[in-house]
Amino acid sequence: MSVCQYRTLARMSTEKETLQQRSQPVPGGQQAPPAPPAQITSGFTPNPQGANPNGHLPPPLHGANLPSQPQNLPQGGYQQQPQYIYPQVPQYVLPQNPSLSQQPPTGYIRYNLNHPVMFCPTPAPKKSILEAYLLLIVLGLFGGHHFYLRRPVWGILYFFSFGLLGAGWLIDIFRLPVLVSRCNNDASQQNPNLARKKHLDDAYVLWFPGGFLGLHHFYLNNIGLGVLYLFTFGLFGVGWLIDACLMPYHVKKANSNIPDCSEKSAAATCILAVSPAGLLGAHHYYLNRIGFGLLYTFTFGIFGVGYIVDWCRFPILLKRYNKSKEIGHTSHKHLDDAYLLWFPLGFLGFHHFYLNRPVWGLLYMFTFGLLGIGWLIDLCRMWKLVENCNKEIDERVHLTRNNRSVANPNYIPGQYYGNMPTTTVGGHVPVSYGQFGPCPPGYSNPNPGIYLTQQNGYGSVPGMNEQPPPYEAASIPTKGH
């Protein structure tokens, strides 16, 4: 029922009671004085006009004309008339709607009139080491203590692996106080980064015996190595043994705040190079050396020689790759790669193919390294061949950059323009300032070779708006000349 309906009913009830009181006779033969009309205002209790809050009429003012004394008065003087108390209309109270009322939020609330409401989350209850040991003894093989310590992933892993085949359950007997302390510390600090932090003890628990399936790499977010370990049974056990020494490095890298996705890991490179996967060129594929990776795949690590050499030179390969990512891609050739191809595939000219000498490569292939003589000479002159190849690469890059900076954007390679018609002014060809020319000092040119002027839409340079002097028109030779 609305507020207006409540007020209307209250008013009707008041008027009805007033009429009933008027119709009743007053004791002593006196008629009740007429009641003033009830006035109801919004939000106030209706009182008689001129009455005080108690319902009594105010006393007459000083000097007012009082009525004459009535006849047939008793000896005691005026007979006091009975007081009539007008009925009070009950104040309307808005009903409370539990759905609209503000529900108290979860946690503790500090109310302050001068500051906004601050929500303090309820701290999680601390875990007891006694209860943790009780769950470890009874349900530890099914991960009961991990569920109790808010480690549901570990609990599920223990449940389906029967406590990591019992090994994880035995290790947890000694490290359970550390797990309880870590759980209470994370709950008290309310820091979400602590929950994502990797721990060395957890990594070693997964390494034995689940390391053959790459569980420790999945835990440390090394998904690629995890999948590789899963299908090669820990790189045939070699990678699993290496991880026993490199585990602190893996954990430190996983907890780094700003991981560099473009930078390759030294630990991953070492594992791939030393493990049997290196015979198939896995470390070369990892370092984006696709050519050497394919060569290792089809030659079984260049007959095992390259596989053994890479045990010592994989740090150099890693440093070379990371440096190329910093300064940009480079196609320079390296002396160690050339010597690796010279033996034992130099008789087939593989080192010449690598150094961009395909003619010599074919010659060596069909003459078996010039009957072995050229193969022996190349042992001494390999450094010079690599140096000359890198010089040619640098010159080619330099010429390519210069051609891009001075080339005519309207020129189409392979098209002959013939005698181009020109408009001469006084025997000279006027050149629009800004057609071609260098960029003045202190200004950058978005289009190399095009000068910045108002005519070409890029704006003008202060102090450089004058047209350059015309130059003599050079005759363009025809195709017959």
Neighbours of 97 (CB within 10 A): 7
Q: What is the dihedral of CA 138, 142, 145, 147, to 10 degrees?
A: -140
Cα–Cα dist 349/359, whole Å = 10
pLDDT confidence of residue 130: 94
Residue 391's pLDDT is what? 94
pLDDT at 481: 44
Question: Can you read off the two tokens belonging to residue 115?
Answer: 């500051």
The set of residues, in sequence order, having a beta carbon less than 8 Å from that of 331 and lying 6+ positions away, is: 393
Across the chain, which has 481 residues, the per-10-residue mean pLDDT values are 73 80 61 52 48 51 49 50 54 52 49 49 82 94 94 94 94 95 86 80 93 93 90 91 92 76 81 91 92 94 94 93 77 93 93 95 95 95 95 88 59 48 45 44 48 45 52 50 44
DSSP string across 149-187: TT-HHHHHHHHHHHHHHTHHHHHHHHHHHHHHHHHHHHH
**C-alpha–C-alpha distance, residues 298 and 95, integer Å:** 85
What is the C-alpha separation between 342 and 348, in angstroms, rounded? 9
pTM above 0.85, yes or no: no
